[in-house]
Structure 1
Amino acid sequence: MDTDISDILASVSSPTVYPHTLDLQALTRAWVNERSAPELLPYPADLIARVSQRLSAQILKIESLTSTNNPGLKSTLVIYQTELERVKFLLRSYLRARIAKIDANPHHSLALPSSHLSPLERQYATHHQSLLSTHYHTSFLSAFPASLQRLDDTTGGVSMVDRPDEDTAVFCRVLRDCGGVDVQGPEGTAQVELRRGDVWVLRWRDVRGRVEEGSVEMI
């Protein structure tokens, strides 16, 4: 009997979290992570698809309510439109942050695993790199020997491909215990444990994997 009462109390005290709320939280976290990380993070295709579908449904709902010309729905429309603009801002800003990284390092972006770019982003990066190559070749590369015209040349151990700085310092918060990482200090290298709730300033290369798996978030 005690167990039954405990279960009932637990179910009553636990607030219901709706799927669209979880998706909004996930989009906000993805937005902050993308803006703070020095390189492209994996593209959350399922999340973006769900958010886009809800945006379309919200737009249809607003259009339907607007067409009724009911003065009593004015406050409801304001709430719907405000929420719509908030999510649209997050989504646009998130995608712009990714496009900015592609523009900065197109060759590097195209070399990333397929999970890091959406089909449209990969198409954009390919077209962007093609335009750059054509422009450079027309402007000055055509005057160079053929062996010096490649933009992805690695001859002599020096790569022509620009890459994000993996040693960039980033602020991050630990969401769940996830082991230790090596940090460089004035007295050498030491290991610190990443425990839930901790806030650290670490090199991006040391926390990249944990950010991608969701154990750590950027702040």
Structure 2
Amino acid sequence: MVDRRVDTRELHARRIADCLFPRISHSKHNYIMTDPKDIEIDDLIANLGRDPTATRRARNPHVADDHTLSKEHDLRHLIAVWTAERTCPDILPYENELMDKILQRIRDQVSTMEIESSEAPPAGDEGAGQARKLRLLLIESELERIKFLARGYLRARLHKIDKYATYILQSPDEHLSHLCASEIRYTTRRTQQLKEHYDVSFLSTLPSKLRRLDDDAGGLRMVDEPSLDDVVFVRVMQDLHGVVTISEDEEIELKKGNIYALPYYLIRQHLALDKAQLV
């Protein structure tokens, strides 16, 4: 029997992708918006558009070089934010501009692949056909790598949203502002649906004073929140003047290029100013 169970976070990732990126089906000559229900992250590349700067880059090699450097920088940035989101105990600000650029480039590259694969190879030139297949295979492998990073970034954020949804909604200035619009809608809807489920399941049978899900009576909080005391590995990107106090009898000076294992709350402000980077 085939196991048809689906990971909960995979479903959540699909819903966030649904809100972030409309699903588009395409034919040879037109594009039609369709029902985005059950969208796969793979469908993010379905809106196949041409890069408006392609002609300009072809005419100007300096523009092409700048574009290549920009893509390499964005890929390194994607790897860095993916790593940071996975290792950070708190939820970080959503990288909206970066994700928009990365996903648009995926669409453009897929469009190029479809055009090249649909063209017939030169007659009698078997070597050219084999070279084209190899080129398309390499491009597809690179696309899968980038899609893996994008999925991982979204899933890491969804894991934290699921775990700290109530806390995030209770701290709009500090945490809710770190979410994109679709993540905010997801967090609000999920929290409301969870409360309705609890009400129907058992809360309605309890006295009204015991029905709260955010009670902190007796010094115990019912709401999970990120542990800022968790130790993280961090690379210092520039010399930080002064010392960091770890305990009453221990201080450390953070020097550029070094990697340290420190409690997150000690390095949090330097991460926000891009003076340090999670690894």
What is the TM-score of this pair, normalised by structure 1? 0.85
Q: Which residue pairs with 2:137 in the alignment?
A: 78
Identity %: 36
| Counterpart contact for 1:181–1:192, Cα < 8 Å | yes
Cα displacement (A) at 1:181: 2.1
Q: 1:200 aligns with which of 251, 254, 260?
A: 260
Between the aligned partners of 1:167 and 1:121, the Cα distance in structure 2 is 26
| Counterpart contact for 2:79–2:149, Cα < 8 Å | yes
Question: What are the ranges of 5 or more consecutive residues in structure 1 without an aligned counterpart?
Answer: 1-14
1:105 equivalent in alignment to 2:164: yes
Q: 1:61 aligns with which of 112, 133, 136?
A: 112
Q: Which residue pairs with 2:244 in the alignment?
A: 181
Cα displacement (A) at 1:149: 1.5
Between the aligned partners of 1:37 and 1:113, the Cα distance in structure 2 is 14
One-letter code of the match for 2:232? V
Q: For residues 87-139 of structure 1, give each alpha carbon's deviation from its aligned partner in whole angstroms, at most 9, with x where no partner exists.
A: 10000011101101111111123334444111111111112111211111111
Between the aligned partners of 2:230 and 2:251, the Cα distance in structure 1 is 18
Q: For residues 2-52 of structure 1, give each alpha carbon's deviation from its aligned partner in whole angstroms, at most 9, with x where no partner exists.
A: xxxxxxxxxxxxx97710110001110001111001110111111111111
- The 3-state SS of whatever aligns with 2:239 is coil
What is the TM-score of this pair, normalised by structure 2? 0.67
Between the aligned partners of 1:35 and 1:205, the Cα distance in structure 2 is 16
One-letter code of the match for 1:81? E
Q: 2:251 aligns with which of 188, 191, 197?
A: 191
| Counterpart contact for 2:238–2:257, Cα < 8 Å | yes
Question: What are the ranges of 5 or more consecutive residues in structure 2 without an aligned counterpart?
Answer: 1-64, 122-128
One-letter code of the match for 1:205? Y
Q: Which residue pairs with 2:203 in the alignment?
A: 141
| Counterpart contact for 1:40–1:109, Cα < 8 Å | no
Cα displacement (A) at 1:191: 2.9
Q: How does 1:87-166 map to 2 (within 5 A)?
A: 87-110=146-169, 111=171, 112-155=174-217, 158-166=220-228
| Counterpart contact for 2:168–2:176, Cα < 8 Å | no
CA-based RMSD of the aligned residues comes to 1.9
Cα displacement (A) at 1:212: 2.5
Between the aligned partners of 1:41 and 1:178, the Cα distance in structure 2 is 22
- The 3-state SS of whatever aligns with 1:178 is coil
- The 3-state SS of whatever aligns with 1:18 is helix
Between the aligned partners of 1:163 and 1:24, the Cα distance in structure 2 is 31
Q: Which residue pairs with 1:3 in the alignment?
A: none
Q: Which residue pairs with 1:42 in the alignment?
A: 93
How many matched pairs?
Answer: 202
| Counterpart contact for 2:85–2:92, Cα < 8 Å | yes
Between the aligned partners of 1:212 and 1:87, the Cα distance in structure 2 is 25
Between the aligned partners of 1:57 and 1:189, the Cα distance in structure 2 is 56
| Counterpart contact for 1:41–1:212, Cα < 8 Å | no
Between the aligned partners of 1:103 and 1:64, the Cα distance in structure 2 is 41
| Counterpart contact for 1:174–1:198, Cα < 8 Å | yes
1:169 equivalent in alignment to 2:231: yes
Between the aligned partners of 1:62 and 1:151, the Cα distance in structure 2 is 51
